[in-house]
Amino acid sequence: MLTRLTKNLTYISRIFSQNFGIILLSLLLSNMYQLSAQNEQDEAFDQNIVSSGESLFKGNCTVCHAINEVVIGPALRDVHERQSEEWIYAFIKNSQKVIKSGDEYAVDLYNQYNQTLMTSFDFSDEELNSILTYIKSESAKEVQVAVVDNIVEGGEVSSSISSDNFYLSLGLNIFLLLLLIFILFRFTNLSKKYVILKDNQNKGKLLDDDDKEIVDSGFKINEFIKSNKVVGIASFVFIAVFVKSCIDGLYTIGIQQNYQPTQPIAFSHKIHAGQYEIDCNYCHTGVNISKSANIPAVNICMNCHGVINTDKPEIQKILTAYEENRPIEWVRVHNLPDLAYFNHSQHVAVGGIECNTCHGPIEEMDVVYQYSELTMGWCINCHRESEINSKGNDYYDKLVELHKSSSKEPLKVEDIGGLECSKCHY
Amino acid sequence: MSEGKKTYWKGIEQLKNDPTFIKNSQNEFPEFLPIQGSSDNSRRDFLKMMGFGLAAVSAAACEAPVKYAIPYVDKPVDVDASLPNYYASTFSMGSDCCSVLVKTREGRPIKLDGNKYSKVSLGSTSSQVESSVLTLYDKQRLKYPILNNKESNWRAVDNFVKDELTKKGSKKIYVVSHSINSPSTLDVIDRFSKKFDIIHVEYDTSSYSGMLDANEDSFGIRKIPYYDFSKAKTVVSFGYDFLGSSFNHTLFNKQFTSQRVVSRDKREMSRLYTFESNLSLTGANSDHRIPIKTSHSKIYIAELWNILNSKIGTSRDYINYNKSRKDFINLEILNKAADDLIKNIGSSIVISGSNDKNVQSIVIMINELLRNYGNTIDLNKCYNTRKGDDSKMVEFISDLEKKSVHGVIFLNSNPVYDHYLSSKIRDALDDVPLKISTSDRIDETSVLCNVIAPDSHFLESWNDYEPMDNHYSFSQPTIRRIFDTRQSQDTFLKWIDSKENYFSLLKNNWRKKQKLLKSNEPFQIFWDSLLHDGVAEIVDKNLKNRNPLPNSYKNRISEVNNILTLIDRESNLENFELNLYHNMTVSDGIQSNNPWLQEMPDPISKVCWDNYISINPKDASKLNVKTDVGTMTTNLLSLQHNNESYEIPVIVQPGQAEGTIGLALGYGRKLVGPVGDGVGFDANQLLDSESSFQNFTVGNIKLENTLKDYRIAQTQTHDTIMGRESVIQETSLDEYKKDAYAGKYQFKVATSEGYKKPEEVTLWNGHEYKNHHWVMSIDLNACTGCGSCVIACQVENNIPVVGKEEVLNRREMSWLRIDRYYSSDGDVDDLQALEIAAENPDVTFQPMMCQHCNNAPCETVCPVAATTHSSEGLNQMTYNRCIGTRYCANNCPYKVRRFNWFKYHDNEQFDKNIAMNNDLGKMVLNPDVTVRSRGVMEKCSFCVQKIQQGKLLAKTEKRRLKDGDVKTACQTACSTDAIIFGDVNDNNSRVRKHLQVEKIDKATLKLKEERAYAVLDEIRVSPNVWYLRKIRNKKIA
């Protein structure tokens, strides 16, 4: 009976150690599962109007205005409560006229903001309405807005905590697991010793030959290590890992993923693209029309920084560059080899791909790093998977028709020669 | 025998079945590894290099080099990185000008295309125009003004010159320039001469003085009228190379070929007779070419006048010259020509290249008799690009010799090199106190000057031009001045203390001109439209109609008498007659430092990097000339003239008239730059300096064979294609009228089921091109072989220049070559008959580039799939995949693949490749095309970068691609529309209509156009380049 027990215990411990990896994996998965997404709040505004207002706002106003912050002009939160809609519309259309008319509020505003004139915008009433609706909807998020600020500041902390938790619980689990194995081993050994002792007391009559074999088959570590099997497996694993890491190492030559050079000016995309939500197009003017997206010229910086934060040392660098007519030598982050031809407008204007798809969460980067691999495999993979943005583009009409007649799959880039050499190499 | 059964041969050596030729014809590459020129690498060296390479790679991998992205400080509104901008401007060098469209990238010009709005050039370019963009980035250009052989600044130069000009006294001051057709520049010179009383003398490197003077005598205007070859059904040219080295050959080519293109509905074409001694492009494209001594051409012209006068004339003015002279000429062919001329009264042109006024006067009389004035020759539209007056230059030189000249300003001219009186000018210049040159470099003339005020390149300048009456063309800067140069017009204005600069003067002149139009448009809009279009046609209605002017009778008797004495003076048959000419590559030598032009093979002889004596095969064998094509070796001949002797290499040239030799001018420059210095022989010194006019024909030349060997670089006998009848097909117009398929080579494959057409027997599955199917058609009837496509391809695709040594090693890199085939009516086995025909062969040109075969043999042999097929019918070449096995080149039946034997960029050994070896030269490179490295194969890509660009444009505009969105560089440059490129899947495309595509089955085209054929059709590689059979219009009876 006792032998059964020891036998079973030994088996359990073996099975357990064999399946250690699987258990570890399931633990890991359960940990990851704990990271859950946040919920979004619905708003009581017509989403169509809000979104059209949002795009107008971001396209025209963000240069000088933000909802919650004073930029060049005042913060616009609750602007509809400060003045009537008619006044706001008139001011947007021609602020100079309103100021000249002697409107007290307008004159005060003008003086308060360094006598900077607001550009006149020729919006229709409908467009103005949508912008105002957008501002209203943003203003309504008041409580959340405050939180957003905190999140922006504490974003890193909260995410690091969650990841710390993950590793902590993982470590704890592994520790518990090892402890369990150790206890099992001890328990097996103890029970073996106990069985042997009993057997000796009974002069070897308690155990039959089979049982003895099991009891004697103690775990002899030296023999185990020196056995051919173990040496063979170990050397195989070693060579395999070595070769794999060599190959991996060679493959990384020329790949600059996560390359994050220090720039001459500590420009933050997190502030500009993230916090102030300035449209990428505003600075990267070439992205829809040409091969290169364009690093903005200093005069684009000066559009805002002619008045904003001119006293900060980093901004001073821009001002000096502008005054001395000396270009800023930004360090290039994304370096495609010369032999590969990549065209931004093909992908952004024609293909309708978002900037983030390749450049990653730019709006969260203080210092930009290379998010994607930018290898040929990476390009090709995307060309295999991506569907053609053929809607409303006459160029593709015939191709889509031909494709439909022969396939049920949607038309993908590879179907129209997107994997061919001279699409990118010539 | 029928025309289609001709035997073609690429040169004398093939005709003679020269053993080295046969040996080399088998090999694509003349030698095997290790290649000559590379260091003697042993296996040990290889291992060392390998070890070092590995270490270097791993070291390099540790840290990637930091690259910078440097934006503008203040970005110009209309310049976007990587987007090209186009500006209308005007090419101007020497006496020539051509309206162009300048392609700029990030503010630097990289390519010139023709301006389609221009009625003077009709949107085409020449090799000179195409390559001038590299001259802009020539490091040899002066970077600052020079005063008394020292670096100086503009203020010092201005003060010095102004001071010197006032010391003039009773002496004269000359301005010597090429013909200037810019109204505003002439205005500036006028103001300058008003202040300092200067004399302005114009000359042309190839003088038209005789023709101009004859026109002045006959019509009272010293100009060249507008010749319209598109209206001429018969053209007779006496030594005038209007398709080649003439002053507006791009237009002449276009006009001429418009009469040559035939189709099912238009089975008529013009006929061209050429009487000449050197085999020129015009001769090569003529239906009847009669090799004559140039000195005999006046007898031909006189006799033609007599024949015509006897048949249709009314006057009694016959030219009764010494009857023994008549033996020199071939009356039979002249009668044929006369018959044709009479048949086409009012629609013919007779033209002569003679610079003798009397000869030109007879030509005018002939054209008048044929009623060509008012029909094919228009005196209301005259050219202003050739105005040079030889007699004024003679006067200038005599003034120099009399020491009555205080100062001379060489306005962008270099007469010490390129004038026929150069030696006299050089000697007399010593005594002139003030010598100024505005040359852009230290050249043969400016080196003798005390002031060099370097002019800016035309792409850095403002200007206007009037190449033809009432037809204006404009120049605007497309790049900021690269060096501290100043436009010479501004320099002149500075010297007369004008407050105006040239730009404002130019604008003011056009403000005045606008008033002629009586338009109410604001000036700025008018001016902007001028600059946008680059050209304008403004007719001054006050000018009287000049045409017709039948008042030249008064001169006739004297003309006849003069030509009589001319003919009688002709003597000396013993020695050779030398005919100098400007070729299609370096031309008059202004752009000698341009390696693209130096490496461009001559259209006829296929020689590059040299000039040479061309000699008739019979004369060559008399002189015992030994040429060896295997090593490209020839003899140096000793040319003796005026007690001097010169050693010049010789080329045996079929078609060269017996007893004459040819030699190109524009070579042998001493001070142009490292590329052009010392290339070839300076033939200007052979010109007759005692003559009162420039005469390119020099008599009494003695030749002796030095028996010395000389290696001359020729691209001619490489890349040999055997089995000619499937390569070149041609027929005569008469045959074509009877049967449009005449001359077609019908190849049948023997199968078990009988004979079949090649396309019916194929192992290939065929392709399906769903989107586009790119096809090119080349009309051999329209191609005149001028070669501007060759340079255009070189500029567009960053093709390296390899230098003479490498051409000798048969490693030239051009993607597009023009094969020139001679033909003769003899049988291959009958050497005797072939030799007779070789005297004056028919010439056919065939542009040859990658044929983009549907069943491409190169693709199947590439071990690394570096050359693959695209879904648009392109044969793609992927450089970064290529490992250089060269299997593809070996398997290419067209021999159009080029291997990068060396690294041609950033390599001191290839310093002549200036477009890739210095920072300035590199500005010309097309950023959309990879610069290939050593060890990879390359070839024509059908300008895939332009295809991609065109497609992207269509996609962003959300429309289907239109025909014309994509044009290859060669197509754009072709002045004769011989090359048509497009998408045959597009029903509206020109190429589809041109080839009359009936149906497309698995990418195989079925064409209704009878003339279309594919080269080497029997091997069934199914090329995507189609050729249209050549048709000659020979007069049978």
- The answer to whether B870 contacts A395, with C-beta atoms less than 8 Å apart, is no
B459 neighbors B491 (Cβ within 8 angstroms): no
- The answer to whether A422 contacts B878, with C-beta atoms less than 8 Å apart, is yes
Which of B73, B868, B941 lies closest to A322 in CB terms? B73
If you write DSSP's letter for every residue of B541-606 in order, what string do you get? TTSPP------THHHHHHHHHHHHHHHHH----SSEEEEEE--SSSTTSTTTT-HHHHHSPPTTT-
To the nearest whole angstrom, how far is the Cα of B53 from the nearest Cα of chain A? 14
| Domain locations in chain A as residue ranges | 47-140, 220-253, 376-426
Burial of residue B614 (number of CB atoms within 10 Å: 0-12, 13-18, 19+): buried
Q: What is the overall mean pLDDT for chain A?
A: 80
- Whether chain B has a CB inside 8 Å of the CB on A339: the answer is yes
Locate the chain B residue with the closest alpha carbon to A328: B70
Q: Cα A92 vs. chain centroid, distance in angstroms?
A: 37
Amino acid at A114: N
Burial of residue B316 (number of CB atoms within 10 Å: 0-12, 13-18, 19+): exposed
Shared domain check, B843 and B702? no
In a domain, B120, yes or no: no
- The answer to whether A321 contacts B72, with C-beta atoms less than 8 Å apart, is no
Structure tokens at B759: 């396309």
Q: What is the overall mean pLDDT for chain B?
A: 88
CA–CA distance, B335 with A118 (Å, rounded to integer): 87
To the nearest whole angstrom, how far is the Cα of B133 from the nearest Cα of chain A? 23
Shared domain check, B215 and B197? no
Identify the pLDDT of residue A22.
Answer: 54
Shared domain check, B250 and B199? no
- The answer to whether A297 contacts B73, with C-beta atoms less than 8 Å apart, is yes
Chain A residues whose beta carbon lies within 8 Å of the beta carbon of residue B57: 253
Q: In this predicted model, what pLDDT tens digit does every residue of B382-408 receive, in sequence order?
A: 999 999 999 999 999 999 999 999 999
Mean pLDDT of B373-377: 90
Structure tokens at B967: 């044009």
Please tell me what DSSP assigns to residue A425.
Answer: -
Locate the chain A residue with the closest alpha carbon to B79: A286
In a domain, B33, yes or no: no
Shared domain check, B866 and B764? yes
Place of tokens 């909807």: A137
| Interface residue of B57, B63, B770 to substitute, partner A, most A CBs within 10 Å | B770
The structure's pTM equals 0.81
- Whether chain B has a CB inside 8 Å of the CB on A289: the answer is yes
Q: In this predicted model, what pLDDT tens digit does every residue of B127-149 receive, in sequence order?
A: 999 999 999 999 999 999 999 99
Chain B residues whose beta carbon lies within 8 Å of the beta carbon of residue A426: 876, 928-930, 941, 944-945, 948
Residues 837-876, chain B, touching A (beta carbon < 8 A):
868, 870-872, 874, 876
Identify the pLDDT of residue A338.
Answer: 85
A343 neighbors B952 (Cβ within 8 angstroms): yes
Tell me the torsion sign for CA atoms A88, A92, A94, A95.
positive
Identify the pLDDT of residue B902.
Answer: 94
- Whether chain B has a CB inside 8 Å of the CB on A256: the answer is yes
Q: Is the pLDDT of residue B944 over 70?
A: yes
- The answer to whether B69 contacts A331, with C-beta atoms less than 8 Å apart, is yes
Amino acid at B802: V
Q: Which of B711, B745, B779 is the last residue of a domain?
A: B711
Domain at B587, CATH number: 2.40.40.20
To the nearest whole angstrom, how far is the Cα of A383 from the nearest Cα of chain B? 15
CA–CA distance, B635 with B624 (Å, rounded to integer): 9
Is the peptide bond prior to B34 cis by the omega test (within 30 degrees of 0)? yes
Chain A residues whose beta carbon lies within 8 Å of the beta carbon of residue B954: 395
Identify the pLDDT of residue A146.
Answer: 39
Contacts (Cβ under 8 Å, ≥6 apart) of B473: B90, B97, B99, B115, B118, B120, B464, B465, B466, B467, B534, B535
Shared domain check, B897 and B827? yes
- The answer to whether B930 contacts A292, with C-beta atoms less than 8 Å apart, is no
Amino acid at B375: N
In B179-297, at which residue ranges do the beta strands (DSSP E only) sit?
198-203, 224-227, 234-238, 271-276, 288-291
Shared domain check, B647 and B723? no
Q: Is the pLDDT of residue A76 over 80?
A: yes
- Whether chain B has a CB inside 8 Å of the CB on A263: the answer is no
The listed range with the strongest mean pLDDT (A5-19, A235-249, B743-757, B821-835) is A235-249
Identify the pLDDT of residue A105.
Answer: 83
Q: In this predicted model, what pLDDT tens digit does every residue of B26-48 receive, in sequence order?
A: 665 555 555 555 555 667 777 77
Identify the pLDDT of residue A161.
Answer: 44
Please give the tally of structural domains in chain B.
Answer: 4
Amino acid at B356: D
- Whether chain A has a CB inside 8 Å of the CB on B961: the answer is yes
Instruction: Give the H or E element holding residue B178.
Output: strand B172-178
- pLDDT top residue among A8 and A1: A8
Q: Is the pLDDT of residue B648 over 90?
A: yes
Q: In this predicted model, what pLDDT tens digit does every residue of B491-511 receive, in sequence order?
A: 999 999 999 999 999 999 999
Domain at B817, CATH number: 3.30.70.20
Domain at B396, CATH number: 3.40.50.740
Three-state SS at A356: helix
| Interface residue of B58, B63, B72 to substitute, partner A, most A CBs within 10 Å | B72
Locate the chain A residue with the closest alpha carbon to B76: A297
HSE-CB for B257 with a 13 A CA cutoff: 22
Please tell me what DSSP assigns to residue B677.
Answer: B
Q: Is the pLDDT of residue A119 over 80?
A: no
Burial of residue B998 (number of CB atoms within 10 Å: 0-12, 13-18, 19+): exposed
Identify the pLDDT of residue B547.
Answer: 54
CA–CA distance, A149 with A354 (Å, rounded to integer): 25
Locate the chain A residue with the closest alpha carbon to B942: A426
To the nearest whole angstrom, how far is the Cα of A311 from the nearest Cα of chain B? 20
For residue B803, is it left (φ>0), alpha (ψ between -120 and 50) or beta? left
Structure tokens at B414: 């270099």
User: Residue B367's domain spans which residues?
Assistant: 209-383
If you write DSSP's letter for every residue of B24-45 in order, what string do you get? HHH-SSSS-SSPTTS----HHH
- The answer to whether A350 contacts B770, with C-beta atoms less than 8 Å apart, is no
Q: What is the largest CA-CA distance in chain B?
A: 98
Q: Which of B350, B383, B416 is the last residue of a domain?
A: B383
Locate the chain B residue with the closest alpha carbon to A261: B66
Shared domain check, B707 and B755? no
pLDDT band at A43 (very low <50, low <70, confident <90, very high): very low
- The answer to whether A254 contacts B878, with C-beta atoms less than 8 Å apart, is no
Q: Is the pLDDT of residue B1021 over 70?
A: yes
- The answer to whether B74 contacts A256, with C-beta atoms less than 8 Å apart, is no
pLDDT band at B1019 (very low <50, low <70, confident <90, very high): confident
Shared domain check, B624 and B765? no
B91 neighbors B132 (Cβ within 8 angstroms): yes
Exposure b/e, A147-177, CB count within 10 A at least 16 = b: eeeeeeeeeeeeeeeeeeeeeeeeeebeeeb
- The answer to whether B952 contacts A416, with C-beta atoms less than 8 Å apart, is no
In a domain, B36, yes or no: no
Count CB atoms within 10 A of the CB of residue B199: 16
Three-state SS at B819: strand
A264 neighbors B68 (Cβ within 8 angstroms): no
Chain A residues whose beta carbon lies within 8 Å of the beta carbon of residue B961: 395
Q: Is the pLDDT of residue B963 over 70?
A: yes
CA–CA distance, B273 with B279 (Å, rounded to integer): 13
Residues 307-326, chain A, touching B (beta carbon < 8 A):
321-322, 325-326
The number of helices, as runs of H, and strands, as runs of E, in chain A is 20, 1
- Whether chain A has a CB inside 8 Å of the CB on B941: the answer is yes
Name the phi and psi angles at B669, rounded to 5: -75, 145
Shared domain check, B432 and B366? no
Q: What percent of chain A has pLDDT over 70?
A: 83
> Helices A20-33 & A142-201, crossing angle to 10 degrees?
160
Q: In this predicted model, what pLDDT tens digit does every residue of B661-670 receive, in sequence order?
A: 999 999 999 9
Burial of residue A202 (number of CB atoms within 10 Å: 0-12, 13-18, 19+): exposed
- Whether chain A has a CB inside 8 Å of the CB on B67: the answer is yes
Which of A254, A259, A345 lies closest to B952 in CB terms? A345
Q: Which of B327, B353, B383 is the last residue of a domain?
A: B383
Which of A253, A286, A402 lies closest to B57 in CB terms? A253
Shared domain check, B402 and B348? no
Between β-strands B1004-1007 and B997-1001, what pairing exists: parallel, antiparallel or unpaired? antiparallel
Three-state SS at A157: helix
What order do you get walking across the sheet with B96-105 strand by strand?
B84-93, B96-105, B108-114
Identify the pLDDT of residue A123.
Answer: 83
Q: In this predicted model, what pLDDT tens digit does every residue of B462-484 receive, in sequence order?
A: 999 999 988 999 999 999 999 99
Place of tokens 């000697």: B427
For residue B406, is it left (φ>0), alpha (ψ between -120 and 50) or beta? alpha
Shared domain check, B639 and B606? yes
Chain A residues whose beta carbon lies within 8 Å of the beta carbon of residue B948: 341, 423, 426
- The answer to whether A299 contacts B880, with C-beta atoms less than 8 Å apart, is no
B871 neighbors B787 (Cβ within 8 angstroms): no
Q: In this predicted model, what pLDDT tens digit does every residue of A242-257 receive, in sequence order?
A: 999 999 888 777 788 8
- pLDDT top residue among B681 and B16: B681
CA–CA distance, B937 with B866 (Å, rounded to integer): 9
To the nearest whole angstrom, how far is the Cα of B972 from the nearest Cα of chain A? 20
Mean pLDDT of A195-200: 81
Shared domain check, B412 and B264? no
* Chain pair A-B, CB pairs under 8 angstroms: 149
| Interface residue of A395, A401, A414 to substitute, partner B, most B CBs within 10 Å | A395
Structure tokens at B505: 């003067």
- The answer to whether A422 contacts B961, with C-beta atoms less than 8 Å apart, is no
B725 neighbors B743 (Cβ within 8 angstroms): no
A76 neighbors A66 (Cβ within 8 angstroms): yes
Identify the pLDDT of residue A42.
Answer: 42
Identify the pLDDT of residue B319.
Answer: 81
Structure tokens at B816: 């597009």
In a domain, B106, yes or no: no
Nearest to B322 by CA among B569, B577, B562, B574: B569
- Whether chain B has a CB inside 8 Å of the CB on A327: the answer is yes
- The answer to whether B770 contacts A294, with C-beta atoms less than 8 Å apart, is no
Which of A285, A338, A417 lies closest to B930 in CB terms? A338
Identify the pLDDT of residue B703.
Answer: 93
Fold category of A47-140 in CATH: Cytochrome Bc1 Complex; Chain D, domain 2 (1.10.760)
B1021 neighbors B858 (Cβ within 8 angstroms): no
| Helix, strand, coil percent values for chain B (each to nearest 5) | 30, 20, 45
Which range, of A19-33, A403-417, B186-200, averages the lowest pLDDT? A19-33
